[in-house]
A and B are shown apart, each in its own frame.
Chain A
Amino acid sequence: MTRHLPALIIVIPLLAALFTAGSGWINSKAPFRIAVAALFFSFVCAVLMLIQVVTTGIAMEYRMAGWAGPMGIVYVIDHLSAIVLVVITAVSTLNLVAQKKNIDAEFNDKEGAFNALYVLFTAGLIGMTATGDAFNLYVLLEIVSLSGYALIGLGSRRAPLATLNYLFLGTIGATFYLLGVGYLYIATGTLNMAELATIIPQNMESGVILFAFIICLTGLFVKMAMFPVHGWLPEAYSQATSVSTGLIAPLTTKVTVYIMIRICMTVFTPEYTFGHLDISGFIVLLAIVTIVFGSLSALAQTNVKRMLSYIIIAEVGYMVGGFFLGNRLGISGAILHIINDAAMTLALFLAAGIFIWKTGGESRSDLKGLFAKMPFTMAGFVLAGLSVVGVPPTCGFFSKWYLISGGIQAGNTLFVAALIFSSLVNAVLFFRLFEIAYFEPFADADSHGSNHGSHTHGGALAIKEAPLDMLIPFLIASITLIVLGLYSGTIVTNIIQFAIPTGVI
């Protein structure tokens, strides 16, 4: 049975999405249960595949429809895909379980369609990660995009417009990627990633392949919100519901970074990307601008969700810059940061979801006094904030360390300076939030001295924590940050080490 795992991990969610959509017309409780069961099943499959790949050291290959190589579509699970699959399924399951109350509140009579789109989004991400065919990646990218648009479009009053802008830019990005695949097809005649990797080193001088690389990369940059095409992200993420941002924010940009790594490293081999081409310096510069711009813009926001969205943009800059440094430390840092950043963003947005559910407001000042009211939630939020800043032993410190070491080894002091600057700005940002939550009195108990005795409210001193089904997944996510940090070394030596081709120093 284990040989069918690469197919099961995506077929089960797909079938479950169909049952969810169908059962939504009959029963209103069934969709959620089917969705959670299916996502948990894929999480188990992903973990099993990771264990198998790590213990045997060989990538799993699965030939869809029985046809090998370039004739058919092949799924390849190697070290890199296996770990990203675990991340995707874990984030998706945790978020769905944690936000059940929000789903009931916001999508009251459309549970079937919502849960089906949620599961289809995750299934698309799983497929994108596992596939070994360049065109199949485009189809799954479009599933992820379309379900993403639907999940984001139902939010606040400004959500449809923000989503429409996201749709335009997302379509441009995906179509550029398709164009790049077309150029590759003209030059080589195949769509299979492994076969492209053997043909491209023989044609390095070709202008067609150069242009294919540039246009693929441009499309992916649009989809991951690099500067200057980042405009869609803050609007879209801040206007959506907390369920949707909890799913989309940790995953979309990180999996797009994974695709970039897959294309630049596995398809266009490292000799071509870092050796033959000379644009790494320019891309690292772009990443530096993204980091600085994201951090400074986050400083200027009063809305908590917009602030977190700009932090996401800065994190994308870390990963892209780290990858294009070209050395083993930098690439390891980028891959480790995919895992860590997904966990951090999930924890941050789950916390934001709890805050919004509790106080009803989204601005910074609504966090007043929450330390006393919700100590466990705030503890988790503090952990997540420290991880973004990069304080040991949280995971954010370790990935930043790899990135900084990579920058020093490559001699790119500007990148190191940008990383340190960004950490300082994040520190200012989060400590300001902690100060508001800790020192300011809770909004309910705004006592004006004279009315103290006649207050009939529940009392500002009573702890009114978030409900358990929201709190426990959130705490699991926060504690994972420390666990990931402590095991960073193990992850790098056992998994990420083998994900990078041996030619890279």
Chain B
Amino acid sequence: MKILGKLTILLCGVLLLVFTMEFPDWGDPDSPASTHLSPYFIQHTMEDTAVPNIVTSVLADYRGYDTLFETTVILTAGLACFLLLRIERKKVHHRYYRHEPTGVTLRMEGDKFPRNSAVFQRMDANWVPYDFVISRTCRLIIPFIQIFALYVVAHGHHSPGGGFQGGVLMGASVILFAISHSLRAAIKSFSEKTAALLSVTGVFIYAGTGALCLIFGEVFLNYSALAPLFGSDRVMARSHGILMVEIGVAVAVTAVMIWIYYNLSSAGKQDEGL
């Protein structure tokens, strides 16, 4: 079986290599790929959409329909992980809490919580002692990561960036919080319900913008139809429309990244993670 696999792969590789001799050279500016369609994008992006970042304008305007479904793909992955893994937690009858300054362990029955919960830490079979240095360092860094994520989303028109990149950064900041502290702390600040609803909201912002264009009389996702809404001319309306959908994408990607992380790292139980 292994020999058969190795032989197949060798054969495939050689076949592919033989065919590459016909391809254009690397970096050739005269290949059909570089001369047929892309000059239109490079030359007309400013007069059509007023966005200097050509990748953003192609992604969110010319081929914006693809991007809508790309965002739907990531939502589908979040829903799939939820459907496959999520298990409801059984009700607990008692919980253990550890008083940090003295190290005393308390057992609370039913649903009672200790009053001064800042100095108490929840313990159970999945409890892992957290590291002081890591948690405090990450606490310092996380706000800066989030500000940078917002910058990447907002400045996507003029520098490399956009919805996906900013969304991943923002999601990573919450995941960093979950890794450095504990999954429960992250879930308390950004619950699973919030993540699910936000992910749906993000895709809704995108599809909703497109549907709004439909209502205003133009074709689906034709942002110039939103000119009366923004109070600008048709070209600037495209630029603002691109910003709106990028925000939708960022919200969706953030929420889905966090949702998938919650489900994968706790294998669906969402009580304790890595």
Query: CB-defined interface of B7-19 with A at 8 Å, one 1/0 digit per residue?
Result: 0000000000001
* In contact, A66 and B224 (Cβ under 8 angstroms): yes
Cβ A143 vs Cβ B76 within 8 A: yes
Q: Does B80 contact A7, Cβ atoms closer than 8 Å? A: no
Contacts of B208 in A (CB 8 A): 15
Q: Inside 8 A of A72's CB, which chain B residues have their CB?
A: 62-63, 65
Instruction: Beyond A64-B221, A120-B75, list 14 extra A-B contacts (CB 8 Å).
Output: A4-B220, A11-B207, A18-B203, A18-B207, A64-B65, A66-B224, A113-B79, A117-B76, A117-B79, A143-B72, A186-B24, A189-B32, A190-B36, A211-B19
Chain A residues within 8 Å of B214, by CB: 4, 7-8, 11
| Contact between A190 and B220, CB atoms less than 8 A apart | no
Which secondary structure dominates chain B's binding surface? Answer: helix
Which residues of chain B from 151 to 173 have any CB-CB distance to chain A below 8 Å in the complex? none
Candidates B82, B219, B224; contact of A110 at CB < 8 Å: B82
In chain B, what residue has the closest Cβ to A159? Answer: B84
B79 touches A66 (CB 8 A): no
- Which residues of B have CB within 8 Å of A127? 69
Q: Do B61 and A65 touch (CB < 8 A)?
A: yes
* Residue B88 is within 8 A (CB to CB) of chain A in the complex: yes
Contact B200 A21 (CB under 8 A): yes
Residues in B neighbouring A109, C-beta threshold 8 A: 88
Q: A109 to B89, alpha carbons, bound, how many Å?
A: 13
Nearest CB in chain A: distance from B131 CB, A: 34
Q: How far is the CA of A168 from the CA of B22 in the complex (A)?
A: 30
Any chain B CB within 8 A of the CB of A207?
yes
Q: Is A226 an interface residue (CB 8 A)?
A: no
Give A204 Cβ to nearest chain B Cβ, in Å: 14
The complex places the Cα of A138 from the Cα of B26 at a distance, in Å, of: 25
Most A CB atoms within 10 A — which of B40, B63, B222? B63
A residues contacting B by CB (< 8 A) are 4, 7-8, 11, 14-15, 18, 21-22, 25, 62-67, 70-73, 107, 109-110, 113-114, 116-117, 120, 124, 127, 133, 135-136, 139-140, 142-143, 146-147, 149-150, 153-154, 160, 185-191, 206-208, 211
- Contact pick for A14, options B34, B66, B70, B207, CB 8 Å: B207
Interface residues of B in 222-254 (CB under 8 A from A): 222-224
Q: Which residues of B contact A143 (CB under 8 A)?
A: 69, 72-73, 76
Bound form: Cα–Cα A11–B211 in Å: 8
Are B76's CB and A189's CB within 8 A? no
- Give the residues in chain B near A114, CB-CB below 8 Å: 83
A136 to B24, CA, bound (A): 25
Let me know if B82 and A113 touch, CB within 8 A.
yes
Tell me whether A188 and B65 are in contact in the complex, defined as CB-CB below 8 angstroms, given that A64-B219, A113-B83 are known contacts.
no
- List the A side residues contacting B63 at CB < 8 Å: 65, 72-73
- Tell me whether A66 and B19 are in contact (CB under 8 A): no
Chain A residues lying within 8 Å of B22, measured Cβ to Cβ, are 206-208
> CB-CB < 8 A to A67: which residues of B?
61-62
B200 touches A71 (CB 8 A): no
Instruction: Give the shortest distance, in Å, between B87 (CB) and chain A (any CB).
Output: 10
Q: Which residues of B contact A107 (CB under 8 A)?
A: 83
Contact of A187 among B32, B35, B211, B222 (CB under 8 A): B32
User: How far is B61's CA from A190's CA once the two chains are assembled, in angstroms?
Assistant: 17
In angstroms, Cα B227 to Cα A396, docked, is 54
Query: A160: which B residues are within 8 A, CB to CB?
Result: 84
Tell me the complex Cα distance, A88–B101, Å.
64
Partner of B36 from A25, A133, A142, A188 at Cβ < 8 Å = A188
Contact partners of B84 in chain A: CB under 8 A: 150, 153-154, 160
In whole angstroms, what is the CA distance A3 to B133 when docked?
Answer: 62
Q: Is the CB of A147 within 8 A of B76?
A: yes
Closest beta carbon of chain B to A248's beta carbon, Å:
14
Q: Does B105 contact A (CB under 8 A)?
A: no
Known contacts A65-B65, A189-B37; decide if A11 and B76 are in contact (CB<8 Å). Answer: no
Is A189 touching B34 in the complex (CB atoms < 8 A)? yes
Least CB distance, A188 to chain B, in whole angstroms = 6
Nearest residue (CB) in B for A63 is: B219
Contact of A7 among B34, B200, B219 (CB under 8 A): B219
In angstroms, Cα B62 to Cα A191, docked, is 13
Q: Quote the shortest CB–CB distance from B21 to chain A (angstroms).
A: 8
- The residues of B that contact A189 with a CB separation of less than 8 Å are 31-38
Residue B271, interface by CB 8 Å: no
